[in-house]
Amino acid sequence: MLFKQINKLSNVFLKKIDKIEVVPNKCLKVRAVTSSCSGCVDVCPVSSIQIEVDSIEISSNCINCGICTSVCPTNALKWNHPPLIQLFNKIVRLSEEGQAVYIACSSSINSDCKANVVEVPCLGMLPQELWMSIGMNTSQLRIIYDSKHCRGCINSTGEEVFLKQLKSAESNINKVFHMTSSFDYLNSKNEEIENHNRRRFLSFLLEEVKETNTITVKEVLEVSTPLSPFDKFNRYHTVLSDLEEVAEEVSEMKNTLVDRFLDDTVIHTDKRAFLFAEFKRYPELQEKLAFLIPNIDNSCTRCGACAFLCPTDALVMDGENIILATNKCVSCGLCEEICYEKHIHMNLKKGLFFKEKFVYLL
């Protein structure tokens, strides 16, 4: 018992040390070696990422810029220090205080700057969903961006990823973010600088406590990590055969299998979570935005490969049927890629589609 508690505690600290959380079972390439995804490898500025058959190796030259986390569709690589939701909350809180809020990469920040700054390792680590949420919920936001500075930076791919994510967010929410190459209020009175630094330190402490708390709660609740396709396959058959034994007596228990998979704790990604939060706040966005969602032809042979390989457990086999748990699908397209006989096609669907908790694709 004591050992278990100590183990949980040490996990909390280890997770805080790792800025990037790595969950190989969610990686498209680990789940299906034929996947064409190489997003993280392509953008890593120091070539630190190696995808193996059953693992993701990050070498010690990783500079923790976080750019890989913004392009990974499934959260196999996830920024954890602080989690994106804490960055978002901080930006909104500062913005509600009525002053200009700046987002800047660490290398652009002057130590005696007194402005409201939210510092990130690289602007390219922020995904478009976060920019959308920030854009919808703040005013007076400024991004400190200077192309010349980016070109001299070790994060050589950061600028391209940043501009791509930002532009797509701008076009989705019809808003242009304010960019500036320097802070407006630098180096004013010493007293103000001191007060600001004190506020910054206190706010840093508060964020650290919150973050540790979030990770501790996850550990205590033992939030599950996704199963490998093989474990998932075994589990499916174990549960299925268990159910078959009692099926005659309790025929209605058949639905339990599907319910268990649909209700599993794994998770839509933090990027999708931002979108769903905005859908709630601004329902009109559901009409405007469209997402690639799988569609399955009736000629499908029900081999089940898509359901076992789907990295977010969005597809569930129910005997002859295949169900899509809409809010778990991240539009990664792996199911379309791995379907040997090409029975799956990704089609654009409006955000309204997510209103249904699940749909029968077959």
CA-CA distance, 76 to 260, in Å (whole number)?
23
Could you tell me the smallest distance in angstroms from the CB atom of residue 43 to ligand SF4? 9
Binding to ligand SF4 by residue 157, rule CB under 6 A? no
Of the candidate spans 22-30, 109-117, 207-215, 242-250, the one that interacts with ligand SF4 by CB under 6 A turns out to be 22-30
CA distances in angstroms from 157 to 39, 61, 132, 271, listed in the order given: 12, 16, 21, 21
Closest C-alpha among 164, 46, 153 to residue 104: 153
Binding to ligand SF4 by residue 166, rule CB under 6 A? no
Binding to ligand SF4 by residue 37, rule CB under 6 A? yes
Binding to ligand SF4 by residue 333, rule CB under 6 A? yes
Could you tell me the smallest distance in angstroms from the CB atom of residue 116 to ligand SF4? 32
Binding to ligand SF4 by residue 124, rule CB under 6 A? no
CA distances in angstroms from 147 to 70, 132, 181, 207, 352, listed in the order given: 20, 22, 9, 30, 38
Strand blocks (E) in the chain: 20-22, 49-51, 56-58, 77-79, 101-105, 116-120, 141-144, 178-180, 290-296, 315-318, 321-325, 344-350, 358-360
Which residue of 227, 331, 353, 362 would you call a contact of ligand SF4, by CB under 6 A?
Answer: 331
For residues 60-79, which are near ligand SF4 according to CB under 6 A? 71-72, 74, 76-77
Could you tell me the smallest distance in angstroms from the CB atom of residue 355 to ligand SF4? 17
Binding to ligand SF4 by residue 305, rule CB under 6 A? no
Which residue of 5, 10, 36, 38 would you call a contact of ligand SF4, by CB under 6 A?
Answer: 38
Which residue of 32, 105, 132, 332 would you call a contact of ligand SF4, by CB under 6 A?
Answer: 332
Binding to ligand SF4 by residue 44, rule CB under 6 A? no
The side-by-side arrangement of strands in the sheet containing 315-318 is 315-318, 321-325, 358-360
Binding to ligand SF4 by residue 294, rule CB under 6 A? yes
At 195, which helix (H) or strand (E)?
helix 190-221
Which residue of 32, 51, 67, 144 would you call a contact of ligand SF4, by CB under 6 A?
Answer: 51
Could you tell me the smallest distance in angstroms from the CB atom of residue 90 to ligand SF4? 26
Give the torsion sign (CA, 142, 146, 152, 158).
Answer: positive
Binding to ligand SF4 by residue 335, rule CB under 6 A? yes
CA distances in angstroms from 257 to 25, 157, 248, 263, 278, listed in the order given: 22, 45, 15, 10, 32
The answer to whether residues 142 and 102 touch, using CB atoms and an 8 Å cutoff, is yes
Number of residues that bind ligand SF4 (CB under 6 A): 26
Side chain identity at residue 132, one-letter code: M
Binding to ligand SF4 by residue 286, rule CB under 6 A? no
Buried b / exposed e over 78-95, threshold 16 CB at 10 Å, is bbbbbbbeebbebbeebb
Which residue of 269, 312, 326, 327 would you call a contact of ligand SF4, by CB under 6 A?
Answer: 312
For residues 167-186, which are near ligand SF4 according to CB under 6 A? none
Binding to ligand SF4 by residue 307, rule CB under 6 A? no
Strand partners, 349: 291
Binding to ligand SF4 by residue 40, rule CB under 6 A? yes
Side chain identity at residue 35, one-letter code: S
Of the candidate spans 82-90, 159-167, 282-290, 311-319, the one that interacts with ligand SF4 by CB under 6 A turns out to be 311-319
DSSP 192: H
Residues that bind ligand SF4 (CB under 6 A): 27-29, 37-40, 51, 56, 71-72, 74, 76-77, 294, 310, 312, 314-315, 329-335
